[in-house]
Amino acid sequence: MRIDLSARTAVVTGSSSGIGLAIAMGLASAGARVVVNGRSDGSVAAAVDRVRAAHPTAEVLGVAADVTTDEGAATLLEAAGVVDVLVNNLGIFGAVEPLEIDDDAWRRMLDVNVLAAVRLTRMALPAMIERGWGRVLSIASDSAVAIPAEMIHYGVSKTALVAASRGFAKAAAGTGVTVNSVIAGPTHTGGVEDFVHELVGSDLPWEEAQREFMRLHRPQSLLQRLIEPEEIANMVVYLASPLASATTGGALRVDGGYVDAILP
């Protein structure tokens, strides 16, 4: 398969590191003009430099904006111009005992993981529909299906994100615009390394800590290792392409077989 996204502009939220940066890299490699987003000028500039270094011919724009606010979302989309591909990647997580998650923590999780994506989708989708082409992709999680006991607010937020994505796909029915979510499994990022060490102990070497984490906390994984961000990006790049024109309203799994189901 040859994926060609030249002449397309792709916006990736929360793309200064981790999965978002890998997605930006993947889209740039397919020829897209990529808009990298984060909250600080320094982190965004560093990410832009990394994408350009890996793909010297790519057109890359960095926009520092907090998309959990109306002003930040508007700033990002205005700077991007015509948006052909919107990737709602921004997300937060953290282990908290269920009965210790207070209202403020619930609100923060929903604001960042759900409402930021809903806001940007609501802002970007009408123009896509008018042009008759577009892709909206939201990065969800296996936790949307298998709610983790150590962070149920995170799981609920990702369930809501999958549901919202399905709803927006219905709003775009018959227009040439597709809307999907990607169910990412346990993925190897810097933040996840900290999370793993928090759960299994900070004194263990990384490889041993990863194995212990998968054994104790994610035993249903068929991959039996953490997924690399580039593996998530591969699915996103495909779904962003013309090759995925008949895939919409879906929740596509890149979870290493974590979710014990035969349907997506």
Catalytic positions are: 154
Q: Which residues partner with 70 through β-bridges? A: none
End-to-end CA distance of the chain: 22
DSSP code string of 15-79: -SSHHHHHHHHHHHHTT-EEEEEESSHHHHHHHHHHHHHH-TT--EEEEE--TTSHHHHHHHHHH
- Cβ atoms 236, 23 nearer than 8 A: yes
Could you tell me the CA-to-CA distances from 85 to 12, 73, 92, 206 in Å, in that order? 8, 15, 22, 35
Please, what is the angle between helix 152-171 and helix 103-110, to 10°? 40
Query: What 8-state DSSP symbol labels residue 227?
Result: B
Among candidates 76, 85, 104, 83, which has minimal Cα distance to 16? 76
